[in-house]
Amino acid sequence: MVRVGPYHSLLGQLVRAYKYRDEGRLEPVLGRWLADAVQSACWRERVEAVVSVPAHWRRQLLRASYPADALATIIARRTSLPHVSLLRRIKAGPHQIGLSYREREKNVRGAFALRPGVKLSDARLLLVDDVRTTGATLGECAKVLRRAGAKEVYAAVVVRGRFSYADRVPAASI
């Protein structure tokens, strides 16, 4: 997994402004920084396509663009990789903010599926999201992709947060 920086920093403030205050002007900057991080990853040359963590359709109706999808588009353009829509969110749930590790894990369990008609055979994919806290969302998406035939799934996020709830357990590695 690559990341641009920690959540509890100026970078985290920028991500929050982008996500929650509709500061769209930050999108190209955050996307460029994340694309640069991907370009410098030791596994970059093995990646064949970029996939974003999808939002539920109801949540997509509320925004002009969805951060993970917008960032994945920028990364795909800057790395000359295709941005493919392989996943869909089939179960809506509450936002992950404020949930314990176990609640986050439960919240995304079974929430994602492959889009109808998608076939994967030994694909090497880059999964993009804006924030990684416990890794529950990325882990669930990666599980769906691997079960469908992806050989390797790498991850890229703008920021990685520190999870500090009392029942913290290590996230599944991606």
Q: In this structure, what are the phi and psi dihedrals at residue 91, rounded to the nearest 5 degrees?
A: -130, 120
Structure token pair of residue 84: 């493919």
pLDDT at 167: 36
pLDDT at 138: 94
**SS3 label, residue 158:** strand
Structure token pair of residue 94: 């509450």
Spans of all domains in the chain: 2-160
pLDDT at 97: 79
Domain 2-160 in CATH 3.30.200 = no
Least confident piece of the model among 17-31, 72-86, 152-166: 152-166
pLDDT at 35: 98
Specify the residue for token string 């410098």.
40
- pLDDT exceeds 70 at position 19: yes
Structure token pair of residue 121: 């055979």
Mean of the per-residue pLDDT values of the chain: 87
- pLDDT exceeds 70 at position 171: no
Q: How confident is the model at residue 28 (pLDDT cuts 50, 70, 90)?
A: very high
pLDDT at 101: 80
Handedness of CA 28, 30, 32, 38 (dihedral sign): negative
pLDDT at 139: 93
Please state, in angstroms and as integers, the Cα–Cα distance from residue 61 to each residue in 24, 52, 58, 153, following that order.
16, 17, 5, 28
Q: How far apart are CA 6 and CA 13, in angstroms?
A: 10
pLDDT at 172: 42
pLDDT at 56: 66
What totals of helices (H) and strands (E) does the chain contain, helices first?
A: 6, 6
